[in-house]
Structure 1
C-alpha cells in the first residue's frame, strides 16, 4: 500500500486538519516534475525518472549515513534551517532555499515554505494536546490519591491520623524509583527495615503526572510536605463523590438538592462504584495517549517520505538537514506521551487488574474487530433466500386469486398488518446498513459519535446479515401461513395458522432480550439500554444515541401501531374469529391515539431535559417543534377515526405547520445547510461529499418525502391502490427519508467535532475536591 493511502487511513478523523497536508506537498512536487518535463519535452517520463535515479546513484547522492554532516560539500548545500521563538514559547521554523536563482527554483521555494507551514502547524497542535494530557494526568493523580485513601478507609474503618504510626524524620523519602532496588548502604530495599514493608501492593500508587516513582501506602505511611509528615488520609476530608444526574434516582434526588456531590460513606458498594468509574476514566485517558502518539509517529513518517520524494525528483540533498530540524522539534524530541503511557499502564495493571498485566492490557488495548468471511457468505445466502421467498409469496397469492375473493381480501386485511411490522423493521435496518457503508467510505467516525465500545460496533455487513436473516424468518412464516390457510388439506387448522405471526414475534423478542453472549450481544444490550432511556425520558441524561433512536422511532409510528394490533388481535381473542374488529373497542382507539404520539412525546421530554441542563434556547425551539407535531398527529388520527370536513381542515392546517417546521429544522439545524454566507453556495463551509449536487438533491428529496406524509391526511383517492397499501407505501417512504436524514445528521455532528478537534468522549471523574474554607464558591471539581 502506498504511504499516502496508509497515511489517510491512520488519521484520526476529527484531527484531519491538524495533520501534515501530504497531498498538497505532493501537488507541488508534481509541479516540479511538469516543469522538468517542459524543459525536456522529448524525454518520456519513465526515462526521465530512470535518469534521475541513475544520476542519484552514481553522482554521489546516496551518501552513507555514517558520514558526519560536517564532511558534506558546502557547494551541495541546498537549504538552511532556522528557528525562532514564536507564540507560547513555541519554536517557529523557517527554511531558506539557497538555489532560488536557478530555473524552477521558485517552485522549490514554494515547497519548503509549505513544508515549514505544516511543521509549525503540527508542532503547535501536538504541544497543545500534550499539555492538555499532562494537566489531565495531574488530575488523575489526585483521583488516585483519593481512591487509595478510600480503599484503606473502607478496609480499616478505624484508620485515622491518631492511630497511624509515628516515623522518624531521618527515614528515607517515601517516593522511590521502580529501579531503585538498593538503598544507600547497598542492601536490598526489600530486606531493609522500613515502615512500608507490610503494605499491601494494591495500596501503593504510581504517580501519573510526574516521573515514574512509587509512593508508600496512603494511610499507612505519611507524605513529607515542607519537612513535615502529612497524613495522606487527610485527603478524604476535602473529597466528595461526584454523581452526575444520569439515572432516574440521581435525577430525582438532584431536583431536591442544590449540589450534585454527596459526602463519602466509606461503604464497599461505594468503593466498587468509584473503582468502576475511575477504571473507565483510565481506559479513555489511555486511548487519548495512544492517538496522540500515533499522530506524532504518522506525521514524522510523512515528513520523511515527502522529503525522500523531493530528493528523488530534484536530485538534491535536503532531507538530512530538514529531518534534523524535525527531530529536534517538539514533535520529534518530546517523550512525555511515551512516559505517560508507561505510567498509566503500570498504574492500571496494579490497581485495576490485580497486577495481572495480560488482563490489564486486554482492557487498555482491546483487539480490533476482524472481518469474517462467513458474515459475507451468509449475508449473500440470506439475501438470495429472501428474493426467492418474495417470488414464492407473490406466486402463491396470484395462483390462488386471493385478492379477487372476499374471504381472501378479508384474510389479507387481518394478516398483512401483522407482518408489515417486520417489513418496516427490515427496511429500517437496510437503510442503517447503507448509512454505515457511506459513513465509513467518507470517514465519518460513527463509533465515536454513538459511543460504541471499541471493537463491538457492527459494520454494514453485520447489519445487512441481521436484516436479511430477519427477512428470511418473516417471509418464510408468511409463506407457511399462506400455505396452511389456503391449502385444501389444512383448512381445519385455521385457528393454528393465525398463531404463526405471534410465534414469529415471540422468537424475535427472545433473540433481542437473550441474556447470553451470542448474536451480537453488546449491540443488542446497547439498543435495549438506549430504548429504555427513551422510554424513561426525561429521567436519564440525554446523549446522542438516545435522541437519535427517539428520532428514528418517530418514523416508525405504523410499526408501533402494528404492535398494538398484536396485543388487541391476540389478547382480545380476535384471531379465533379471524376478524379484525379492534377499532370497535374504545380502549383500542384510545391507545391508537397514545401510541402515535409516544415517540414525539419522548423527544419532547428529551428536549426539555437538555434545555434545563444546558440552558440553550435551541432545545426549547426543538421541543416546540415536537409539540406541534404531537398536535398534528392527534388531529390527524381524530380525522382518520371520526371523519368530517371540520376535522379534515384542522388536520390539514396542523399537519402543514408541522411539516414546514420539521423540514426547516432538518435542513438548517440538523444538516447545517442553507448557509447564506458559506464558501459553498447555500450549503456549509465544510462538506464531506465532494459532489455538491448530492446535498441539493437530498434537500429536494427531503421536502418531497415530507409532503408525502400529507397523503395520510388528505387521503387522495388512488383507485389502483388499497388504502392499506397507500399507508404502507407512505410509511416506507418516511423510513427512507429518515435514512437519508441520518447520514447528513451524523455528517454535521462529525464536522462539528472536527471543528473543535473533539476526538474523545468526556468521562466524569468520581471524586470532586473542594476547599475546607469555602465549599461553594471555590469548589474544584474534576469533571
Structure 2
C-alpha cells in the first residue's frame, strides 16, 4: 500500500482536517516533476546522450572515498553556501495560539521552475504551522484535563478512606512528618495522583509528595448519580441533595465515572501520540520525494527543523500516557497490569472468515427457499384457490413481520458498509464499546439467518397444510409463526455471552430509554432508535395482530373476524401507530429542557403534525367519507412538507444556498455530488407513499390489500435506510468540524470555587 493511502487510513477521522495535507503537497510535486520532464525533453537537452552522462556519473562514483562499514565518517563536513537549498527559520510572531511560526526561504527561486518549488515550500510551511498549532492546542487541553483528573482522584481516594476506614501502615507513612503534608484534625494519608513519580524516586526524595487529606471532602459535591426514572421524577419535584453521604454506593458511582474518564482520556492521548508520529513521518516522506524529483538535498535541513520543533521535542503526551496507565492499573485494576492494559488498549477487531462463510451459506439457503416457495405456489395454483383471501388476511401478516425485520437489517448492513468505506466513525457516534460494534458482515449474518428461519417456516406451513397426512395438525401449523417470534425474543433477551451479547444489551438499554421517555436524558442512540420505529409502524401493527390472533384463539379456525370486528382493536390500531411519534415528541421535550435548544420545539411540532396525519388516515381507512378524506390528505400533505424539509435541511444539513457545493453543504463525504440530489428526490417520492391510502389504491383488483400495505411499508423502511446514512454523515461532519474524537464523560466531583487553586 502506498504511503498516501496508509496515511489516510491511520488518521483519526474527526481530526482529518488537522493532519498534513499530503495529497495537496504531492500534487505540487507532480507539477514540478512534469516541468522538469519537459525541460529534459526540450530540443537543446535532447542533443545530449543521457546514457553517457549516467555512465560518467557511475565511473566517477567508483573513485569516491569509502565511508566505512562502521560509519567512521559520521560527522559529515559542512555544506558550502553554494550547496544550500533552503533556509528554515522560526519567528516569534503571534500566530493565534501558536506563538511561533516557521518559514522556509527557498534559495534557488531564480532557476527554471523555481517558482513551482517556491509554491511547494509555502504550502509545506502552511501545513507544518497548522500541524504545530493543532498539536500544541491539544497538548494544552490534555494537560489541563490531567490536572482535573488529579483533583478528582484526590476526592475519590479521600472518599474511599472515609467510607472504608484508614488503610494499614505503608512505607509512605514514614514521610508523614514532611512539611508538605496537609494535616487536618481527621488525619492525613498518602495519595497517588496522575503526577506521581516512581516509587524508587519517592522513597529517596519526598519533596512535593502529595498526601491524601480528608479536608477535601468538605469542599466537594457528588455531581452525578445513576440516572433512573425515579431519580428524574425526584429531581423534578424536589432538588436532589448532591452532598456526600459517605456510603459505598457513592464510592462505586464515583469509581465507575472516573474509570470511564481515564479510559477516554487515555484514548485521546493515544490519538495525540499517533498524530505526532504520522505527521512527522508524512513530512519525512514528502521531503524525500522532493529530493528525488529535484535532485536536491533539502530534506536534511527541513527535517532537522521538524525534529527540533515542538512536534518532535515535546514528550508531555508520552509522560502522561505512562502516568495514566500506572494510575489506572493501581487504582482501578488492583495492580493487575494485564487487565489494565487490555482495558486501556483494546485489541483491534479481527475479521473472521467463518462469518463470511456462513453469510454465503445463509443467503444461498434463503434463495433456495424462495425458489421452493414460488414453485410450490405455482404448481398448486394457490393464487387462484378459494383460501387465498383467508390466507392473506391471517397468515401473511404473521410472516410479513419477519420480512420487515430482515429488510431493515439489510439496509443497516448497507449503511455500515458505506460508513466504513467512507470513514464515518459510526462506532464513536453511537457510543459502542471499542471492539463490540457490528460490521456489515455480522449484520448480514444475523439478517440472513433470520430470513432462513422465516422462509423455512413459511415453506413448512404450506407443506403441512397441503399434505393429507398433516392436515389433522392444522392447529400446530398455525402456531409456527408464534414459535418463531418467541425464539427471536428469547435470543434477544438471552443473558449468556452468545450472539453478540454486548450489542443485544445495548439495544435493550436504548429501547428501555425510549419507552421511559422523557425520564432519561436523550442521547443520539435513543432518538435514532425511536426514529427507526417511526418507520416500522406496520411491524408494530403486525405484533398487535399476533396478540389478537393468538390471544383470542382465532388461530384455531384461521379466522380473524374477532380482530377485524372489534372496536377496541380499531382504537389500538391507531394508538400503536402513534406511539413511536409520541416517544419522539417526549424526547424533543426532554432535549429542549436539558439544552434549551429552540430547534427541538420545532422538531416536536413536526412529530405532532405527523401524529395528526397518521390518526386521520387511520380513521379514514376505517370510516371512509369525503370529509375525512380531505382532512387526511390535508394533514398528510402538511406533515410531508414539514418532515421533508427537516430531513434534508436539518438532519442532512443540505440545501445550503451559499455553500462551496451549491445547494448541498461545504463538506461532503461521497465523491459524487449527484448522489445527494438523487437521495433528496427519493426522500420526497418515498414520503408520498401515504397517498395510496387517500387515493384508495388498496382497492386495486390485481393486488391484495395486505400485499400493497407490505409494499408501502417496505418503501418506508428503504427511505429510512437512506436517511440513516446521510443523518450519520452529517453528525460525523459536525464532529469533524469541532475535532471531537473522544466522548465527554461527566466527572463525579465538583469543587467549590477557588478551592483547587489554594
Does the TM-score normalized on the shorter chain lie above 0.5? yes
- 1:486, distance to aligned residue in structure 2 (A): 1.4
Deviations 1:424-470 (A, max 9, x none): 00000000000111111111111111111000000000001110000
Trace 1:429-448 onto structure 2 (pairs within 5 A): 429-448=409-428
Q: Which moved more, 1:58-67 or 1:584-593?
A: 58-67
Give 2:13's aligned residue. 13
Match of 1:681 in 2: 662
CA contact (8 A) 2:154 2:212 kept: no
Counterpart among 506, 509, 512 of residue 529 in structure 1: 509
SS where residue 311 of structure 2 aligns? Answer: helix
Query: For residues 531-560 of structure 1, what are the alpha-carbon distances to aligned partners after superposition, in whole Å with 9 as ceiling and x for unaligned?
Result: 111111001110001101111110000001
Tell me, yes or no, if the aligned pair for 1:245 and 1:541 is still in contact at 8 Å: no
> Is 2:106 aligned against 1:97?
yes
| 2:250 partner SS | helix
Q: Distance in 1 between matches of 2:55 and 2:392?
A: 76
Q: What CA distance in whole angstroms lies between the structure 2 residues aligned with 1:452 and 1:57?
A: 63
Paired with 1:593 and 1:623, the residues of 2 have a C-alpha distance of 19
Question: In 2 relative to 1, CA 458–54 (structure 1 residues): closer, same or farther, beyond 3 Å?
Answer: farther
* Residues 1:425 and 2:405 are matched in the alignment: yes
Q: Superposed, which structure 2 residues align to 1:8-407 within 5 Å?
A: 8-41=8-41, 67-68=74-75, 71-87=78-94, 88=97, 90-156=99-165, 171=178, 205-209=191-195, 232-243=213-224, 246-258=227-239, 262-407=242-387
Match of 1:638 in 2: 619
- Asked if residue 741 in structure 1 is aligned to residue 723 in structure 2, the reply is yes
Residue number among 675, 680, 686 corresponding to 1:694 in the alignment:
675
What corresponds to 1:662 in structure 2? 643
TM-fit CA distance, 1:125:
0.1
SS in structure 2 of the partner of residue 151 of structure 1? helix
**Contact between 1:207 and 1:213, CA under 8 Å: does it hold in 2?**
no
Query: How far apart are the structure 1 equivalents of 2:426 and 2:491?
Result: 25
Q: 1:495 aligns with which of 445, 452, 475?
A: 475
2:448 to 468, 477, 480: 468
Correspondent of 1:518 among 498, 521, 533: 498
CA offset digits 1:404-439 (Å, max 9, x no partner): 122233123210000000000000000000011111
Residues 482 and 780 of structure 1, relative CA distance in 2, 3 Å threshold: farther
Distance 1:567 1:53 in 2: 90
SS in 2 for 1:95: strand
Report how far residue 169 of structure 1 moved: 8.7
Q: Using a 3 Å threshold, how does the CA distance of structure 1 residues 338 and 212 change in structure 2: closer, same or farther?
A: farther
Question: Per the alignment, do residues 144 and 389 of structure 1 end up closer, same or farther by CA in structure 2, a change over 3 Å counting?
Answer: same
Q: Is the 8 A contact 1:56 1:312 kept in 2?
A: no
The two structures have a TM-score, normalised by structure 2, of: 0.92
1:766, 1:324 → 2: CA distance? 45
**Structure 1: distance between partners of 2:524 and 2:27:** 39
Q: 1:641 to 1:210 in 2, by over 3 A?
A: same
1:337 CA drift (Å) = 0.2
- Rounded Cα–Cα distance in structure 1 between residues aligned with 2:407 and 2:160: 52
How far the C-alpha of 1:171 sits from its partner, in A, is 4.0
Q: Does 1:705 align with 2:714?
A: no
Distance change (3 Å), C-alpha of 1:55 and 1:211: farther
- Is this contact kept in 1: 2:369–2:459, CA < 8 A? yes
Deviation, 1:155, is: 1.1
Superposition TM-score, scaled by structure 1 size:
0.89
C-alpha separation in 2, matches of 1:234 and 1:361:
33
Q: Is the 8 A contact 1:206 1:346 kept in 2?
A: no
Say if 1:538 and 1:609, in contact at 8 Å, map to a contact too.
Answer: yes
RMSD: 3.0
Change (3 A) 1:272 1:310: same
Deviation at 1:257, TM superposition (A): 3.8
- Structure 1: distance between partners of 2:692 and 2:335: 65
Structure 1 residues 58 and 550: CA distance shift in structure 2, 3 A = farther
CA distance in 2, matches of 1:153, 1:223: 26
Equivalent pairs, count: 735
Unaligned runs of 5+ in 1: 160-164, 176-198, 772-777
From 715, 732, 742, give the equivalent of 2:714.
732
Question: 1:359 Cα shift?
Answer: 0.7
In structure 2, the CA distance between the partners of 1:370 and 1:166, relative to structure 1 (3 Å rule), is closer
Tell me how far apart the structure 2 counterparts of residues 687 and 261 of structure 1 sit (CA, whole Å): 47
SS at the partner of 2:559? coil
**Equivalent pair of 1:52/1:312 in contact (CA under 8 Å):** no
Contact 2:163/2:247, CA 8 A, preserved across alignment: yes
Deviation at 1:71, TM superposition (A): 2.3
Instruction: Kindly provide the CA deviation profile for residues 8-33 of structure 1, in whole angstroms up to 9, marking residues without a partner as x.
Output: 00001111110000011111111111
CA distance in 2, matches of 1:103, 1:56: 26
User: CA separation in 2, counterparts of 1:49 and 1:12?
Assistant: 47
- Superposed CA deviations along residues 483-510 of structure 1, whole A, max 9, x for unmatched, are 1111122111111100000000011111
In the alignment, the residues of structure 1 paired with residue 261 and residue 66 of structure 2 have an alpha-carbon distance, to the nearest angstrom, of 49
What does residue 414 of structure 1 align with?
394
In the alignment, the residues of structure 1 paired with residue 207 and residue 232 of structure 2 have an alpha-carbon distance, to the nearest angstrom, of: 39
Match 1:555 to one of 516, 535, 558 = 535
TM-superposition CA deviations, 1:587-643 (whole Å, max 9, x none): 222211111011101101000000011111100000000011111111111111112
